């Protein structure tokens, strides 16, 4: 099996071959490791490399792989998901940074906004998060109203940027 | 009076912890729950459970009348308020007293007295307990305040008398700046509290937070169960607590614990409470401590004291509330070894500690000798946006501070939580900080050393091997597996919540039908 993932901006690749919970992992740097795996009823993996034994938990959902190891969480995405995410950052789509409730929305569709202007405030567990305009532009869409619950990553507002001619060509790439 | 059934007016880990104590005492339990908590562990564990409203606490866990109605209907003879919510609400304690239900905590009169910070200080100060030198008089003239400022000296703190939460607070380091700061503090005090009165206090730089656990019975006996140091705080939120404190000598320990007992007796305190002190280490090597306030409830960090002394504080609370005497002398309470606690929060240190909400895809608690986990969540549960983001407390106990820290780091490294972000790596990094290891801490520690915290991004080889191992040993696909491998077992009781003796069964059923 080929494993092809992105960690941060870096590709992580390796090959794993084997069966019955035993196998060989071929790392990108050419090194290889023999591993034996035990998965318990809680889905905790105990991995024996011959020289050491360690435990980790792995959850894979929708192109995202998350690993819990040694008190830290490591998040990976498939290359396809990573490409989509890069596209979105450059747009004026404002997504909820956390799951919570909309406390206020201070703009209306069609309104022009300035970069860093506060557009909406959301709240979760008494923590407030302000959503600011990423650039000068016009409010194109507002998908929620005050008091509504939103999920992490939901699109709250869409801002259309003021036209900047020299960037138009770049965007279509 | 014998207590036979206790209503727990709380949720999460503390509700679970209280239910366990009741079970050991053969006392029946009644849980109350909000809609999103329908299948929470405290609801499943309690003998009976009643829905009391929607998610927001003001519409559920803070409804005094509703909770008392459930107490009446379920036949509970006592209510344990836990911490937070109604635990320090004098009106709730009084309503219980009037309804003839035992409130497991101090009397409403004590809560009221100690809830007023100025009166509390006056009362304990009169009994000889040291308070931060300052002025809290009625004469608020500029001239009088200026005179008092000179006699207190700098650094000086100006605080709104009606205040809290840092509003109307000013630190004055040079008396020349006093008038300007006074004006600003007054203006902020009026704006925030509609009251321009201020207090003046000597400002203690980088203090430690040391508190003393006390318990009193209805016969006027009060004992202490030693101190807890809670100096590791992020924005006034305690995150690591330990006992004994690394800074107390046995002479200082005697002084501070005696002061706590004196303060409790001055307030005719009964049941469990915590006397908080500000502890100052002066440049000349001397130490001073000052009374801050009394928390009239069981604290989150009570478990530290339980590990250290072997005394179950919740059971003790229940016993004294039922009218039993403490049953032991001060000299019989012995502290041994070192207990250390960390709070596991659903928050994201990498994005400015925003709360993290969602499904708990993975929740594997550490186990081992000297490790205790008090949690109120289970794998597959949901972290909702309505309540405090604390998921669990991890407490370890060993023969020394050094060993306990190492035990804690090891325990944290085998705590697997996925689905929501947590502060586990952050806690490990704090515990590994050389100054923390040396016990050189203060309430400024995190602000000074962890202000712009970023977790390490290095990718250990083991993580890649874990992904390979996961592919090599795929989760069991039989029995209708979920994408993450756990079988989708449908458990009617878990879905419904425990609604025995439920007043409106049809409503819950239809609610769950969709």
> What pLDDT score does A100 carry?
87
Pair B210, B256: CB distance under 8 Å: yes
pLDDT tens column, B17-54: 999 999 999 999 999 999 999 999 999 999 999 999 99
Highest mean pLDDT, choosing among A51-60, A106-115, B161-170: A51-60
- Label residues B160-175 b or e (16+ Cβ within 10 Å = b): bbbbeeeebbbebeee
H runs (alpha helix) in B75-141: 90-99, 108-115, 117-126
Q: How many residues does chain B have?
A: 514
User: Pick from A43, A61, A124: which is nearest to B357 by CB?
Assistant: A124
Residue A66 in any domain: the answer is: yes
Which residues does chain A have within 8 Å of residue B414's beta carbon, measured at their own beta carbons? Answer: 55, 71
Tell whether the model's pLDDT for residue B488 goes beyond 50: no
Contacts of A23 in chain B (CB under 8 A): 468, 472
Indicate whether B61 belongs to any domain. Answer: yes
B212 and B198: one domain? no
Is A33 contained in some domain? yes
pLDDT given for residue B504 in this prediction? 38
Same structural domain, B324 and B430: yes
A170 in any annotated domain? no
For residues B248 and B394, state if they share a domain.
yes
Given the cut 0.90, state whether the ipTM is greater than it.
Answer: no
For residues B173 and B236, membership in a common domain is answered with no
- In the predicted structure, residue B103 carries a pLDDT above the cut 80: yes
Residues of A in contact with B473 (CB under 8 A): 21, 37-39, 45
Tell which residue, B432, B385, B383, B438, has the closest CA to residue B410: B432
Supply the range of the domain harboring residue A151. Answer: 91-164
Active-site annotation of B, residues: 297
Co-location of B263 and B376 in the same domain: yes
| Cβ contact, residue pair A59, B361, below 8 Å | yes
Q: Are residues A130 and A78 in the same domain?
A: no
| Of A156-170, B124-138, B422-436, the least confident | A156-170
pLDDT at A172: 37
Rounded to the nearest integer, the mean pLDDT of chain A is 85
CATH number at residue A47: 3.30.700.30
Query: Quick one: what percent of chain B has pLDDT higher than 70?
Result: 92
pLDDT of residue A159: 87
Look at residue B281 in the predicted model and tell me its pLDDT: 94
Residue A7 has pLDDT above 90, yes or no: yes
Could you tell me if A136 and A160 lie in one domain? yes
Give tens-digit pLDDT for B359-373.
Answer: 999 999 999 999 999
Residues A76 and A111 in one domain: no
CA distance A27 to chain B (A): 9
Looking at the predicted structure, is the pLDDT value of residue A135 above 90? no
B393 backbone dihedrals φ, ψ, rounded to 5°: -120, 135
Domain boundary among A57, A83, A109: A83
B67 shares a domain with B17: yes
Q: Does residue B150 lie in a domain region?
A: yes
CA angle B133, B135, B139 (to 5 degrees): 165
B483-502: average pLDDT:
43
Final residue before a domain boundary, out of B449, B467, B496: B449
Mean pLDDT of B213-232: 97
Residue A171 lies in a domain: no
- What are the CA-CA distances from residue B98 to residues B94, B108, B113 (Å)? 6, 11, 19
Domain identity same for A95 and A42: no
SS3 state of residue A39: strand
Assess whether A111 and A45 both reside in one domain: no
Among residues A15, A50, A83, the one where a domain terminates is: A83
Structure-block tokens of residue A25: 């992992």
Cα B77 to Cα B4, B43, B45, B131, B205: the distances in Å are: 7, 19, 19, 39, 47
Domain of B138, CATH number, reads 3.30.1490.20
Q: Would you call A95 an interface residue with chain B, using a CB distance cutoff of 8 Å?
A: no
Total count of domains within chain B: 3
Number of domains in chain A: 2
Contacts of A70 in chain B (CB under 8 A): 413, 460, 462
How many residues make up chain A in this entry? 173
CATH number at residue B54: 3.40.50.20
Whether residues A72 and A99 fall in one domain: no
Report the residue of A52, A58, A61, A63 to disrupt the B interface, i.e. the one with the largest count of B CBs within 10 Å.
A58
Q: Is the bond leading into B244 cis (omega within 30 degrees of zero)?
A: yes
Of B379, B425, B473, the CB nearest to A37: B473
Q: How far apart are CA A156 and CA A139, in angstroms?
A: 11
Give the residue numbers spanning the domain of B186. Answer: 133-202
By Cβ distance, the residue of B419, B468, B475 closest to A35 is B468
Q: Specify whether A11 is located in the same domain as A78.
A: yes
- Measured CA to CA, the distance from residue A166 to residue A28 in angstroms comes to 40
The mean pLDDT value of chain B amounts to: 91
Q: Is the pLDDT of residue B204 over 60?
A: yes
Last residue of a domain, one of A55, A83, A111: A83
Distance in angstroms (rounded) separating the CA atoms of residues B9 and B351? 33
């Amino acid at each position: 099996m080929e494993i092809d993932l992105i960690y941060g901006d870096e590709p992580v690749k390796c090959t794993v071959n084997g069966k019955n919970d035993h196998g060989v992992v071929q790392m990108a740097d050419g090194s290889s490791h023999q591993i034996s795996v035990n998965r318990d009823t809680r889905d905790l993996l105990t991995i024996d490399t011959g020289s050491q034994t360690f435990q980790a938990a792995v959850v894979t959902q929708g192109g995202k792989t998350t690993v819990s190891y040694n008190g830290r969480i490591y998040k990976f995405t498939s290359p396809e998901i990573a490409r989509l995410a890069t596209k979105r950052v450059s747009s004026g789509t404002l997504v909820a940074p956390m799951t919570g409730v909309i406390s206020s929305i201070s703009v209306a569709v069609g309104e022009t906004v300035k970069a860093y202007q506060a557009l909406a405030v959301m709240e979760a567990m008494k923590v407030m998060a302000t959503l600011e305009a990423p650039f000068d532009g016009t409010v194109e869409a507002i998908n929620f109203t005050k008091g509504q619950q939103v999920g992490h990553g939901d699109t709250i507002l869409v801002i259309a940027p003021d036209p900047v001619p020299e960037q138009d060509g770049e965007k279509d790439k | 009076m014998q207590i036979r059934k206790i209503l727990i007016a709380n949720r999460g880990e503390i509700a679970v912890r209280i239910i366990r104590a009741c079970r050991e005492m053969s006392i029946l339990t009644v849980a109350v729950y909000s809609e999103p908590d329908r299948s929470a562990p405290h609801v499943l564990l309690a003998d009976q459970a009643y829905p009391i409203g929607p998610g927001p606490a003001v519409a559920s866990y803070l409804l005094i009348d509703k909770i008392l109605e459930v107490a009446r209907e379920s036949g509970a003879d006592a209510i344990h308020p836990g911490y937070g919510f109604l635990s320090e609400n004098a009106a709730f304690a009084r309503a219980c007293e009037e309804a003839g239900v035992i409130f497991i905590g101090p009397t409403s009169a004590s809560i009221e007295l100690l809830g007023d910070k100025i009166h509390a200080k006056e009362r304990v100060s009169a009994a000889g307990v040291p308070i931060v030198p300052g002025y809290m008089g009625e004469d608020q003239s500029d001239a009088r305040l200026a005179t008092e400022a000179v006699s207190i000296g700098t650094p000086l703190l100006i605080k709104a008398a009606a205040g809290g939460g840092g509003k109307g607070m000013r630190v004055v380091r040079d008396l020349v700046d006093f008038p300007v700061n006074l004006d600003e503090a007054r203006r902020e005090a009026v704006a925030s509290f509609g009251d321009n009165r201020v207090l003046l206090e000597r400002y203690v730089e980088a203090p430690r937070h040391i508190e003393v656990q006390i318990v009193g019975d209805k016969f006027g006996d009060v004992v202490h169960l030693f101190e807890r140091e809670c100096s590791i705080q992020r924005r006034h939120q305690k995150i690591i607590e330990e006992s004994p404190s690394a800074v107390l000598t046995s002479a200082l320990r005697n002084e501070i614990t005696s002061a706590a007992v004196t303060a409790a007796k001055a307030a005719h305190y009964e049941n469990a409470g915590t006397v908080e002190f500000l502890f100052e280490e002066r440049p000349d090597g001397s130490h001073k401590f000052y009374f801050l306030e009394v928390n009239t409830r069981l604290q989150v960090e009570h478990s530290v004291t339980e590990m250290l002394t072997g005394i179950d504080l919740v059971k003790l609370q229940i016993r004294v509330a039922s009218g039993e005497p403490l049953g032991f002398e001060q000299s019989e309470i012995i502290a041994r070894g070192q207990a250390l606690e960390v709070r596991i929060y659903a928050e994201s240190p990498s994005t400015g500690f925003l709360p993290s909400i969602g499904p708990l895809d993975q929740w594997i608690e550490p186990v081992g000798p000297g490790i205790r986990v008090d949690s109120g969540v289970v794998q597959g549960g949901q972290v909702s946006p309505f309540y405090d983001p604390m998921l669990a407390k991890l407490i370890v106990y060993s023969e020394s501070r050094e060993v306990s820290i190492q035990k804690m780091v090891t325990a944290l490294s085998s705590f697997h939580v996925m689905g929501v972000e947590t502060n586990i790596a952050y806690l490990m990094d704090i515990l590994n900080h050389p100054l923390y290891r040396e016990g050189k801490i203060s309430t400024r520690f995190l602000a000074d050393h962890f202000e712009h915290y970023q977790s390490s991004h290095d990718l250990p080889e083991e993580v890649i091997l874990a992904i390979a191992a996961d592919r090599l040993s795929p989760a069991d696909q039989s029995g209708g597996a979920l994408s993450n491998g756990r079988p989708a077992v449908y458990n009617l009781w878990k879905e419904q919540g425990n609604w025995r003796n439920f007043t409106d069964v049809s409503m819950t059923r239809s609610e769950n039908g969709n």
